[in-house]
Amino acid sequence: MPGWCLVALAIAPGLWLLKYHRDHDRTQPEPARLVWGVFLLSVGTCAAAALAETLLGAGTLEGAATWSKGLYAFLVIGPVEEAAKLYPVWRVSRRPEFDETIDGLVYGAASGAGFACVENLAYVLEHGFVTGLFRAALSVPFHVFTAALLGYGLAQWRLAGRAWAVPAAFLATSALHGLYDFSLFVQVPGAPGPGLLVPPLATVALAWGGTRALAASSLQSRLRHAAPGPASAGVEPPAEPDAPLAPWRRTFNLWACVGFALASLGTGGLFVLGLAALHATGQQPPGSAWLQALLAAIPFAAAAGFVRQAMRL
């Protein structure tokens, strides 16, 4: 296949996902120069992340014990790559244009797209067309949606004073990133390893959570910036917002959502690690691959829902 086709295959998915997020920011679209500035800065942080991972032992993984690969995935790859995507959004979050919750999602998607395009380009040029197809469906959306959730956490901190949202989003995305990569490390030739299950499941869960957050933020933005006055003909005015919760009840609900989200992530993580252990020892887990996928998807989807609910409080 011509080289230019592989380059197009590598960068098109990330650019399309960035456009998808920007298209939902209709009320006060972010300046293109800032969006593309975040994109380009993330290209640089991707290179920095690759260097950091190399210095921290990426070249020693071949033939390493499973537990060693797990530690590297969870303690190095996840935090390093998520931090690399978080930094460009943090830089732009200090600007006055960063004034809506949806802005965090847009700039986060820009950062994730820049990171994914560079990483994807390296993999596709080395491994070819089929790798590009798989990564277009799995790895690229994973990077974009995790970065969008990081941006959402930053927006909650900058605009609503919820300082806990940034570390919560960072820990959640780093943990999912670690699961993603660890599942790839422990695949066994000839076995339908969990690497075939975790990436799409994590991506679907985060895509669902990110899309819900995006839709809710778009609605809030439209209502907030709508001019007061009589309702247009044939259009009912928006319902009055619910009365705010008492402080103690809000705090209780907040920590309950955070606790349930962490418990759901832990449950999903333990289930996936159990599958990984069985495959690594050459054993076949009970049930079909579809059943395993369904059982693994439930806790991750629940975690995304609890995180979304916590951020609405």
Distance (Å, whole) CA 258 – CA 310: 7
**Which residue range is the domain that position 191 belongs to?**
3-223+245-312
Q: Is the pTM of this model over 0.85?
A: no
For 252-282, write each residue's pLDDT tens digit: 777 787 777 777 777 777 777 777 777 667 7
Residue at 267 is within a domain: yes
Residue at 235 is within a domain: no
For 174-201, write each residue's pLDDT tens digit: 988 888 788 777 654 444 444 455 555 5
Residue at 231 is within a domain: no
Residue at 240 is within a domain: no
Using CA of residue 149, residue 152, residue 154, residue 160, what is the dihedral sign? negative
Residue at 53 is within a domain: yes
Residue at 299 is within a domain: yes
Distance (Å, whole) CA 153 – CA 167: 8
pLDDT tens digit at each of 313 positions of the chain? 678 888 999 999 999 989 988 887 777 889 999 999 999 999 999 999 999 998 888 767 776 777 788 888 889 999 999 999 999 999 999 999 998 888 998 999 999 999 999 999 999 998 888 888 888 878 888 899 889 889 988 998 998 888 888 998 899 889 888 887 887 776 544 444 444 555 555 555 655 565 555 546 545 555 555 545 444 445 445 444 445 667 777 777 777 877 777 777 777 777 777 777 776 677 776 666 666 666 777 777 777 777 767 766 6
For the chain, how many structural domains are there in total? Answer: 1
Residue 77 DSSP label: I
Distance (Å, whole) CA 225 – CA 43: 34
Residue at 238 is within a domain: no
* Residues 223 and 235 sit within 8 Å (Cβ to Cβ): no
Residue at 71 is within a domain: yes
